[in-house]
Amino acid sequence: MEEFVGKLWHNWVTKTAGGHYPEAVVKLAEVEKTVGILFRALGGDPGLKVAAATGEMHGARRKWLQRIAGSGEKLSLARRDAETLRLPPEITAFPEKSLNRDLYLWLAALAASDAAPNTPWFIRNQRASQAALATFPGLRSRYERLVAAHINSRMAPEQLQPDEAAQELAIRQALRHPTTVDGLPPLNSRKSRPPQPVILWLIAAENQIAGKLADPSEHLPPEGSGSGETEKQAHKAEKVETPDNQAPMLIMFRAESLPTWAEYVRVNRAYDDDEDPNAKNVANDLDKLSLTRDGETAVSRVKFDLDLPSAAEDDTPIGPGITLPEWDYRKSLMLENHCRVQPMVAHDALPAELPEALAATAKKLRGQFAALTPQRRWLKAQQDGAELDVDACVRNHADRQSGHTIESGGYLAQARCERDLACLLLADLSMSTDAWISDTHRIVDVIRDSLLLFSEALSATGDRFGIYGFSSLRRNNIRFHLLKDFNGRYNAASRGRILAIKPGFYTRMGAAIRQAANILYEQPASRRLLLIITDGKPNDLDLYDSRYGIEDTRMAVFEARRMGLTPFCVTIDREAGAYLPYLFGPGGFCVIRKPEELPRRLPLLYAQLTKQ
């Protein structure tokens, strides 16, 4: 009964305190796609992704009912950094759902018009607001409604101290008429509170990206070692020194705290490297995450290092390696000879036949793709040929009788019609492909079957094709595996190399695409298709696991198109819709929702891409 009454009281006092309207809630997930499209259409940075912001303590003065209810202490405000446009996960600020949705759209337009992120918060938002209203005058009516509703929900200046009231009046003036206020009046008392949050503005971005310290590559776990959950929220972070216990011997020891034999209870005690199931919830409750290095090596890092193959067990390198450039979007500069690609071939791959489980599917695909095999066709009215062209002979005789000059021959000749195209298939062999998708198959098993069936299908058409795989361990160790080159035939040896592929390391996709594009560019064909199979976005142990990797991959795709190639990405990553349109364009990729369908759909996708 006590709990029931307490719940009723909490719901009533929270609702009475006001400040939010749950019945008119609009969630970011509902408008995320629309907001992203609007942000980019209005001139926003196309490389920024839209994600949810976390609630933060604002410290402003609250109404007395809010203090009683314990509400209104935290608020999720929009902000923009180098990689992300973060918006509130949900908006319940206004009683009308249309106004809450309009606030999302206005924040997108404001962020797209923010040309001076390093200026003071108060001036920056006024300039961005003025720029948005001047460039997109259709937003003015919505903006005025949002301003009127937001000012109506704020505390009146009469309820504040004089210096706080002066700041509140300045904010209201800046909202109604942007760029007309030069700055906020100062606070004169230690008891004064900061101004109330302005939900129509962006807050200042942190100097460092949340959660990242200098040289982050030293303590990152291997790819695929996490829980698999994607967290779209970001926290403020600060770098602190490791706490040092100056007097460890002062810890009090009480002998009576030791359990006796009778008090002993057998429990499952956690190990030091066990994950804390409540860590995520605790982190979400923190306003700021304090990060430090304790000098100890993580257990997952030790396990990863032990998995590195020795030179005797590793694949065989081909040549000394190839240096390639890499794009640094922060400097808008191509870093020459920045990466090293090492071509490799499996040393323990034995010639093999096609697995029996794929025999029936391969036979069906060969039959379907045999219809794409170029056929001979007859050319009419030729000067020489194997047979007479009756129609041409009759026409020539009629022309001769009427006194006209004969302009065509009278023979039929056969000509071979060839499909003048080449395809390079580039497969992602990173550690993440070691994940299980069913009780019997991993992602790498599905990729292996796809490569085999793809080869069987293309062998029936006679098209020239090559198959390569890649993984990486930082920029100087990009492994480029030869599975079948363009000059070699698809036979038992190439099947053995495909069956011997193993997952490992990371996905430095930009360098792999550049190397594959250079190989494909050398093929004498009028159409050249670069087909990429991956299960995730670009990443590596260094800063490549950020927007840096996305931008470098996008530049590599652009370079491939400039060479006359047609890059196309096939992925089984369900979240690929958030980044692949930026990398390959809206028609340059395909997401396969069920990974087990990849072997069957890949050859059919190739047939569609190469259809004349």
Identify the CATH number of the domain in which residue 455 sits.
3.40.50.410
Q: Is residue 16 part of a domain?
A: yes
441 and 568 in a single domain? The answer is yes
Q: What are phi and psi of 328, to 5 degrees?
A: -105, 100
Distance CA 532, CA 589 (A): 9
Q: What single-letter amino acid sits at 464? A: R
Q: Is residue 201 part of a domain?
A: no
Residue 407's Cβ-count burial label (10 Å; 0-12, 13-18, 19+) is: exposed
Q: Is residue 199 part of a domain?
A: no
Q: Is residue 250 part of a domain?
A: no
Distance CA 22, CA 570 (A): 41
439 and 588 in a single domain? The answer is yes
Sign of CA dihedral 343, 347, 353, 359: negative
Q: Is residue 247 part of a domain?
A: no
Distance CA 595, CA 600 (A): 10
From residue 460, alpha-carbon distances to 3, 34, 179, 348, 488 in Å are 72, 45, 69, 28, 15
What was the pLDDT predicted at 595?
86
pLDDT tens-digit series, residues 470-526? 999 999 999 999 999 999 899 999 999 999 999 989 999 999 999 999 999 999 988
What was the pLDDT predicted at 14?
61
- Print the domain residue range for 299: 211-225+269-307
What was the pLDDT predicted at 269?
52
Q: Is residue 205 part of a domain?
A: no
Return the structure tokens found at 292.
């430090």
Q: What's 208-254 look like in SS3? A: CCCCCCCCHHHHCCCCCCCCCCCCCCCCEEEECCCCCCCCHHHCCCC
Distance CA 78, CA 53 (A): 7
Domain count, the chain: 4
57 and 33 in a single domain? The answer is yes
430 and 463 in a single domain? The answer is yes
Helix, strand and coil percent figures for the chain, each rounded to 5 = 40, 20, 45
What is the per-residue DSSP string for 141-195?
HHHHHHHHHHHHHSPPGGGS-HHHHHHHHHHHHHHHSTT----PPPP--TT--PP
H helices of 355-473, in order, are: 359-370, 390-401, 443-461
What was the pLDDT predicted at 13?
55
Q: What are phi and psi of 388, to 5 degrees?
A: -80, 145
- Chain-centre distance for alpha carbon 27: 21
Is residue 430 within 8 A of residue 223, CB to CB? The reply is: yes
Is residue 443 within 8 A of residue 534, CB to CB? The reply is: no
496 and 561 in a single domain? The answer is yes
Is residue 87 within 8 A of residue 104, CB to CB? The reply is: yes
What was the pLDDT predicted at 248?
52
- Chain-centre distance for alpha carbon 70: 38
390 and 475 in a single domain? The answer is no
What was the pLDDT predicted at 511?
96
- pTM of the predicted structure, to 2 decimals: 0.72
Distance CA 538, CA 512 (A): 11
42 and 158 in a single domain? The answer is yes
Is residue 154 within 8 A of residue 196, CB to CB? The reply is: yes
What was the pLDDT predicted at 62?
74
Nearest to 193 by CA among 71, 18, 62, 324: 62
Q: What single-letter amino acid sits at 176? A: R
Give the sheet arrangement for strand 84-87, strand by strand. Answer: 49-52, 84-87, 79-80
What was the pLDDT predicted at 230?
41
403 and 428 in a single domain? The answer is no
358 and 463 in a single domain? The answer is yes
380 and 453 in a single domain? The answer is no
pLDDT tens-digit series, residues 181-239? 998 888 887 788 888 899 999 987 654 333 343 333 333 333 333 333 444 555 565 65
pLDDT along the chain (612 residues), means of 10: 66 61 90 90 87 82 66 80 88 91 94 86 92 93 94 88 90 93 86 88 62 37 38 57 55 51 51 56 61 55 48 78 94 94 90 92 86 65 80 83 76 69 94 87 92 91 91 93 93 93 92 96 92 92 89 95 94 84 90 88 87 64
395 and 536 in a single domain? The answer is no
Return the structure tokens found at 363.
């036979």
Beta-bridge partners for 86 = 51, 79
Q: Is residue 36 part of a domain?
A: yes
pLDDT tens-digit series, residues 57-70? 777 777 766 666 56
Name the packing angle between helices 140-153 and 162-176 (round to 10°).
Answer: 160
What was the pLDDT predicted at 451?
94
409 and 430 in a single domain? The answer is no
Distance CA 353, CA 494 (A): 10
Q: Is residue 257 part of a domain?
A: no
